[in-house]
């Protein structure tokens, strides 16, 4: 199991109760081991971050990005976050809300 900052646990619970439409739609497809029998977790603390979705068996993180992620400061923060997660041996896939809402099958196939 990967380490995480225990102070993030309560915040991750709040985020699980306030998921975006895109996050809810993807979670509906990921939960209950529907994809290759893999167990996914939502709003999972990993290290100093909370990731949208995490699969330990696949060493995979899935992030769903809203429009704010196109702003330069968010792009820099996302790069730093992705590098940190890659340093933990994780692969990070990023999709924007629109992709999840309109192209779910393509997202799931990735």
DSSP class of residue 71? Answer: S
Any idea what the CATH number is for the domain that residue 80 is in?
Answer: 3.40.960.10
Residue 99 belongs to some domain of the structure: yes
Please give the chain's pLDDT, 110 residues, in tens. 787 888 899 999 999 999 999 999 999 999 999 999 999 999 999 999 999 999 999 999 999 998 675 777 888 999 999 999 999 999 999 999 999 999 999 999 98
Residue 11 belongs to some domain of the structure: yes
Structural domain harbouring 32: 6-109
Positions of E strands within the chain: 41-46, 49-55, 60-65, 91-96
Residue 58 belongs to some domain of the structure: yes
Q: How many domains does the chain divide into?
A: 1
């Amino acid at each position: 199991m990967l380490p995480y900052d225990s102070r993030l646990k309560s915040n991750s619970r709040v985020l699980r109760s306030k998921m975006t439409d895109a996050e809810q739609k993807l979670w509906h497809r990921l939960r209950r081991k529907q994809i290759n029998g893999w167990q996914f977790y939502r709003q999972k603390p990993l290290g100093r971050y909370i990731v949208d979705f995490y699969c330990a068996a696949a060493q995979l993180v899935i992030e769903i990005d809203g429009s704010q992620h196109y702003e330069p400061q968010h792009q820099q923060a996302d790069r730093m976050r992705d590098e940190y997660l890659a340093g933990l041996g994780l692969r990070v896939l990023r999709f924007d809300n629109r992709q999840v809402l309109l192209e779910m099958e393509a997202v799931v196939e990735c």
